Amino acid sequence: MNALLKLVGIAAIVSTLSSCGFHLRGAPSLPDNINTIVIESARAHAPLARALDNRLNIYGLKSQERGSNSAPSENISIYLLPEKLERQLLSVYPSGQVAEYDLIYVVRYRVSFPNKEPLTAQFEVVRDYQDDPDQVLAKSRELDLMLDEMRAEAADMIIRRLSGQAVAALDIEK
């Protein structure tokens, strides 16, 4: 009886998840003939370019800098425009010091596919950040770690979007 209830419960969960369109997300898939992506940046040694390079390696894709041995028209090229970090005030302490704010990391980039017009895209990664004037050093380190996380998330978003854009730009059916 107990096993039957577990089976009915699992069946109910699976049918609910499948009916709402949920599916597990795997690694972003690019066309098989694309395995190298050229990364360029408006700023030399941009942190987002490094994060994107690291994430591409995790997904099994290669990256290279412009000027390497391959012609730019043969590869997908991503040009990272200058990143922006904005702060939006959420609350203040009675003393007037900032207690909490939203960090808004704005990412803009341009992606070029072989023999196609470049596509420009922009998105934001937002985090809530609580400041504590009594722990300035710890909060400074926490902010650095949060920015690294936001860059990694932005790199993942670029790769996921690139997967969809590649299918559309290169007229490939999945």
| pLDDT tens-digit readout, 129-163 | 888 777 777 778 888 999 999 999 999 999 988 88
Which two structure tokens, joined as six digits, stand for 74? Answer: 């043969």
CB of 88 within 8 A of CB of 101? Answer: yes
Residue 96: CATH number of its domain: 3.30.160.150
- Cα(113)–Cα(63) distance, rounded to whole angstroms? 15
- Average pLDDT along the chain: 80
Total domain count for the chain? Answer: 1
**Sign of the C-alpha dihedral computed for residues 159, 164, 168 and 170 taken in this order:** positive
pLDDT tens profile 18-72: 665 554 555 555 666 677 889 999 887 889 999 999 998 888 888 877 654 544 4
d(CA 77, CA 37): 6
Q: For position 70, what pLDDT does the model report? A: 46
Position 77 in a domain: yes
**For 22-35, what is each residue's pLDDT tens digit?**
545 555 556 666 77
Gap between the terminal Cα atoms of the chain: 44
14 is a domain residue: no
For residue 22, give both structure tokens: 């949920």
Structure tokens at 129: 């950040």
Show the domain range for 54. Answer: 31-169
